[in-house]
Amino acid sequence: MGFATNAIHVGQEPDPSTGAVVLPIYQTSTYQYEELGKSRGGYDYARTNHPNRKALERTIAKLEGGLNAYVFTSGMAGIDAVFRLLRPGDHVVLSEAVYGGVYRLTTQLLVHFGLEFSFVDTSDPAVVLGAFRPNTKMIYVETPTNPTMRITDISAMAKLANERHATLVVDNTFLTPYLQKPIDLGAHIVVHSLTKYLNGHSDATGGTVVLTRPDDAERIYFIQRSAGAGLAPMDCFLTSRGIKTLAVRMLQHNANGLAVARHLDAHPKVRKVFYPGLVHHPHHELARKQQKGPGAMLSFDLGSEEAVRRFLNQVKICTLAESLGGVESLISLPAQMTHSSMPKEVRDRIGISDSLVRLSVGIEDVEDIIADIDQALLYI
Ligand SMILES: Cc1ncc(COP(=O)(O)O)c(C=O)c1O
């Protein structure tokens, strides 16, 4: 079956007990046993599992091409579970421009549990190789990076990881399996913030971990049910509903992203645009090879904090807010919002300047998005 068919049907079969075409929300914390030691439908307690979670997990595993998927209360809860696959003393090489929350989780929390982290430019395989230590057990890649839009060659990372018995984890939040299939390129684990494109409607948080190896799957499920951060029924229901339209949404996001990026690129008040779909992007060719499209995330530099302040206070259709990947265009200032937990010297080194604006291009009429940006740019 094709991607859109799978997104609508896998895990979304009519409810066996009633024939309901849409799986009802199983808003119950516990399940009656048929007899002692025997559950009715394989469910006993909602922390461990429930029908809405199972349905969503099946859809995601299918779309990413994984063996299993597990869904968590947020992207960060899923990413935290992935790092719990490691042991004290293990070392991880990560993309240097990861989402600020991942930087905070690793540098301020997980280091205290004996894990070691090195942040490097993963777009250069030689740099990644140079960062390897005898205790390196994982490569953690965000591609494109948030918000600098640098691209990492997933196949090259998989080769490095396989040669050195390390696990390759790819955060596929920015592109979704519609535009990029990390597992086909050799990734062992894929993570997402479901809060973004997979849900697509900015009405629930969630995260997922997609596995390719039975051992990893077993351990992630153990972590999910032991630590208790599995996604709740209502949030699974909302995310399952969102995923059904993923293919059409991504097509429109992609088209709008490209149009807005080209417009900004030609605008005299915009210093620089970072978007892999533009031919001058340093990783344009790699993006064309590894992605089905450039996506709808981009960033651009307006030259000064003052210019950014005036611009962001004038936009109307582009909503000034954290997050991304919803049907509505969302705009933010990473230095003060998503990446504020990263020290300024680190942000400056990796290109997250105080005047870098991030835009998640929505699926409104693209003329309206562009007109909104243009009127706000008049104020700087
Ligand atoms: C690329 C990326 N990964 C992971 C996360 C974390 O997801 P959540 O906010 O759902 O915890 C985010 C959040 O913005 C993100 O942008």
User: What is the identity of the amino acid at 232?
Assistant: A
Is 275 among the catalytic positions?
no
Residue whose Cα lies nearest atom 16 of ligand 1: it is 99
173 lines ligand 1 (CB under 6 A): yes
Q: What is the C-alpha separation between 356 and 312, in angstroms, rounded? A: 11
* Structure tokens that stand for 195 in this block: 């809060």
Q: What is the C-alpha separation between 369 and 374, in angstroms, rounded? A: 9
212 lines ligand 1 (CB under 6 A): no
CA dihedral 193, 7, 20, 225 (to 10 degrees): -40
Query: How much distance in Å is there from the Cα of 33 to the middle of ligand 1?
Result: 37
Percentage of the residues of the chain whose pLDDT score is greater than 70: 100
99 lines ligand 1 (CB under 6 A): yes
Q: What is the C-alpha separation between 93 and 96, in angstroms, rounded? A: 9
Q: What tens digit of pLDDT does each residue of 329-379 get?
A: 999 999 999 999 889 999 999 999 999 999 999 999 999 999 999 999 999
74 lines ligand 1 (CB under 6 A): yes
- Mean per-residue pLDDT for 194-201? 98
Instruction: Give the dihedral sign, CA 180/184/188/189.
Output: positive
pLDDT at position 16: 85
106 lines ligand 1 (CB under 6 A): no
Percentage of the residues of the chain whose pLDDT score is greater than 90: 98
Q: Which alpha helices (DSSP H) does the chain contain, by range?
A: 3-9, 51-64, 75-83, 100-104, 125-131, 154-163, 176-179, 214-227, 233-243, 246-265, 284-290, 305-312, 344-350, 366-377
pLDDT at position 41: 86
Q: What tens digit of pLDDT does each residue of 198-232 get?
A: 999 999 999 999 999 999 999 999 999 999 999 99
What is the number of the ligand 1 atom nearest to the C-alpha of 77? Answer: 11
Is 196 among the catalytic positions?
yes
* pLDDT over 90 (residue 254): yes
Q: What tens digit of pLDDT does each residue of 26-83 get?
A: 999 999 999 999 998 899 999 999 999 999 999 999 999 999 999 999 999 999 999 9
Is 235 among the catalytic positions?
no
Residue of 44, 47, 58, 368 marked active site: 47
Q: What is the pTM of this model?
A: 0.97
Q: What tens digit of pLDDT does each residue of 273-316 get?
A: 999 999 999 999 999 999 999 999 999 999 999 999 999 999 99
Q: What is the C-alpha separation between 27 and 232, in angstroms, rounded? A: 9
Whether residue 269 contacts residue 377, with contact meaning beta carbons closer than 8 Å, is answered with yes
What is the number of the ligand 1 atom nearest to the C-alpha of 101? Answer: 6
CA dihedral 53, 361, 250, 363 (to 10 degrees): 100
